[in-house]
Amino acid sequence: MTKFNDVLNIAAARAAAKNLPYAGELAPQEAFEVLQQQEYVLVDVRSKAELDLVGRIPNAIHIEWAFYPGMVANPEFASQLQAQIDKNQAIVFMCRTGGRSHNAAVVASGLGYKAFNMLEGFEGEANAEKQRTLINGWKHAGLPWTN
């Protein structure tokens, strides 16, 4: 079995253990691994303000789950997703810490997509001083990102 298949099996087992409706949960390094496959796409659901202030991942598709300020839900999320992503592509969803991306993966799965949530998100958990990127997350893992 290849490393790629091992990663997918681990992700699926995590989702099954939590009775999640989507294909799996991926740690950032695992997400990076599967995103090397042509049929996988990263959808960043953070707000535009977060992208501008914190950074972004090259080649990620951006569809806001909620709008800043106030984090008002994007009522067009499902239609924007369907307009931008082909059903033959598997989606890895990412947000700041993994919460909004979980919700996006639930919606996408309901629309018939093979969807994954990226655990830890772009910035990861906050430490005792409320600083992010020091414990876990995409940035902490040293994976590609830009300002």
Instruction: Give the mean pLDDT of 43-69.
Output: 96
Distance CA 7, CA 13 (A): 10
> What are 75-112's pLDDT values in tens digits?
999 999 999 999 999 999 999 999 999 999 999 999 99
Instruction: Give the mean pLDDT of 46-74.
Output: 95
> What are 35-49's pLDDT values in tens digits?
999 999 999 999 999
pTM above 0.85, yes or no: yes
What is the set of domains in the chain, with CATH numbers? 3-118 (3.40.250.10)
Q: Is 138 left (phi over 0), alpha (psi -120 to 50) or beta?
A: alpha
Distance CA 125, CA 137 (A): 7
